[in-house]
Amino acid sequence: MEQPVGKTDFIVIKALEDGVKVIGLTRGTDTKFHHAEKLDCGEVMVAQFTEHTSAVKIRGKALIQTANGTIESDSTEN
């Protein structure tokens, strides 16, 4: 079911280091990667959940803001 304009869920991702990976995952019976972006430190991406995108996977140190709050992901480097 399509949401009305202006009512679509989205998240804001701000890279806190170079090389943060943002990967979109599909809806349906088989979850698959369908889109990937690489962000450098300070870059911001707004990701929207759609009829095709049901989840977003983030690798690297980033600040993620949603309608439910803010969380910081850890770096993949040890």
CA 67 to CA 39: how far, in whole Å?
22
- Note the pLDDT tens digit of each residue in 36-66: 999 999 999 998 887 777 888 999 999 999 9
- Residue 5 counted as domain residue: no
- Residue 78 counted as domain residue: no
Its pTM stands at 0.78
- Residue 4 counted as domain residue: no
- From residue 60, how far is each of 2, 26, 51, 67, 75 by CA, in Å? 31, 21, 26, 21, 4
Judged by average pLDDT, the poorest of 3-12, 23-32, 33-42, 56-65 is: 3-12
Containing structural domain, residue 28: 11-72
Residue 15: what pLDDT?
97
CA 27 to CA 30: how far, in whole Å?
7
For the chain, how many structural domains are there in total? 1
